[in-house]
Amino acid sequence: MKAVYVKEPHSLEIVELPEPAAGRGEVLVRVRAAGICGSDMHIYHGTNPLAKYPRIIGHEFAGEILALGEGVQGLSVGDRVAVDPVTSCGTCYPCSIGRHNVCAKLGVFGVHRDGGMVERVAVPAVNAHLVPKDWAWEKAALVEPFSIAANVLSRAQCTEKDRVLVMGAGPIGLTVLMGAVLTGARVAVADVLDSRLDVAKKLGAERAVNSGSLNLEEEMTRWTGGDGVPLIVDAVCNPALFPSLLRMASPAGRVAHLGFSETPSPVVPLDITKKELTIVGSRLNCNMFPRVIEWFGRGLPAEKLISHTFPLSQAREAFKLVEEKPLETCKVLLTFPD
């Protein structure tokens, strides 16, 4: 079977590998669609400090069950599933309080262990979430990227009463926008590219602010009548902007952070204390697949995120496109033809 294989940084190939089998508690999945994510690009280029090589990449994937391992119940051959890429030990402190996405021994498909850009893969049955048979495979492969949005909105307790500022209108910012809109919140989006802001408007942003040409803090003061923004989700993750997020937040507001930057940020502690801000990090997802599948069922237009699809055989071309045309691509998917 064929797999997208990063042998070492800067070396991406389609290779022939032996067939896997479903072990105890696992299901064998025939992958039908897999998304390319920024983090796949980082693994490809050797800029993900967590990745180990060689690696079959891909953590955004869906397919059909080909076989059940011993002891698997509640799933059947032929079922269509989206695969949650997060695996955990179940016994460490975060696992013990239900926060297994920050497990001390976290194992993510396509990062710490071989992933889903492969024709067939064995995954724990508990990671395989049923999706309706009438969904396109591409849509099923989008459950994972939207689980990032569901997790951050859950961590920040987004409700229909919120005004939300989403920093960044790249793929992740747009998933957060769509999730917040579906929740009933009023959403503003900031980016420096008008083309992305146009997409954000079409997806339901009430305000789309070019923060390169306008003063975002003034715009948010105006938008909220001077109250400040109750919920800010940072999907840009420029550490230099973080102090501004704290200034824009309303009293009792929440600031949620998604980035992996190691660059320090000059935060003013007074901004946190005097407004009693809640600052949360959000990583991957914690049991959010059912919520996202429900979102899609309620009509969240996930497929609008897709800009291109390529068959597996053209994986190198797909990665090249994402790399060379970041402004013309949004979510790029690999499909696995019969």
Find out whether 76 and 125 touch, Cβ atoms under 8 Å: no
- Nearer Cβ to Mn ion (205/284): 284
- Nearer Cβ to Mn ion (40/219): 40
In the complex, minimum distance from the CB of residue 61 to Mn ion, in angstroms, rounded to a whole number: 10
- Nearer Cβ to Mn ion (37/292): 37
Binding-residue pattern over the window 165 to 184 for Mn ion, x denoting contact by CB under 5 A: --------------------
333 contacts Mn ion (rule: CB under 5 A):
no
User: Judged by CB under 5 A, how many residues of this single chain contact Mn ion?
Assistant: 1
- Nearer Cβ to Mn ion (59/186): 59
Q: What's the 3-state SS for 266-320? A: CCCHHHHHHCCCEEEECCCCCCCHHHHHHHHHCCCCHHHHEEEEEEHHHHHHHHH
In the complex, minimum distance from the CB of residue 131 to Mn ion, in angstroms, rounded to a whole number: 18
- Nearer Cβ to Mn ion (37/153): 37
Find out whether 166 and 189 touch, Cβ atoms under 8 Å: yes
In the complex, minimum distance from the CB of residue 4 to Mn ion, in angstroms, rounded to a whole number: 15
Q: Among residue numbers 20 through 49, which ones bind Mn ion (CB under 5 A)?
A: 37
Find out whether 284 and 148 touch, Cβ atoms under 8 Å: yes
4 contacts Mn ion (rule: CB under 5 A):
no
- What order do you get walking across the sheet with 11-16 strand by strand? 11-16, 2-8, 55-56
Measured between alpha carbons, how far is 328 from 325 in angstroms, rounded to an integer?
Answer: 5
Structure tokens at 237: 């993750």
248 contacts Mn ion (rule: CB under 5 A):
no
188 contacts Mn ion (rule: CB under 5 A):
no
- Nearer Cβ to Mn ion (68/142): 142
In the complex, minimum distance from the CB of residue 12 to Mn ion, in angstroms, rounded to a whole number: 17
| Beta carbons within 8 Å of 137's beta carbon, 6+ residues apart | 32, 33, 62, 63, 335, 336
- Nearer Cβ to Mn ion (37/248): 37
Q: Where are the alpha helices (DSSP H) in the chain?
A: 38-44, 93-96, 137-140, 143-155, 171-183, 194-202, 216-223, 242-248, 269-274, 289-297, 315-324
Of the candidates 40, 41, 39, 19, the one whose C-alpha atom is nearest the C-alpha of residue 30 is: 19
205 contacts Mn ion (rule: CB under 5 A):
no
284 contacts Mn ion (rule: CB under 5 A):
no
Scanning the structure block, which residue is given the tokens 């016994």?
91
Q: How many C-beta atoms lie closer than 10 Å to residue 217's C-beta?
A: 15
Q: How many C-beta atoms lie closer than 10 Å to residue 30's C-beta?
A: 14
- Nearer Cβ to Mn ion (29/37): 37
In the complex, minimum distance from the CB of residue 144 to Mn ion, in angstroms, rounded to a whole number: 6
- The residue whose Cβ lies closest to Mn ion is 37
Q: How many C-beta atoms lie closer than 10 Å to residue 80's C-beta?
A: 20
In the complex, minimum distance from the CB of residue 60 to Mn ion, in angstroms, rounded to a whole number: 5
In the complex, minimum distance from the CB of residue 43 to Mn ion, in angstroms, rounded to a whole number: 11
In the complex, minimum distance from the CB of residue 128 to Mn ion, in angstroms, rounded to a whole number: 18
111 contacts Mn ion (rule: CB under 5 A):
no
Binding site for Mn ion (CB under 5 A): 37
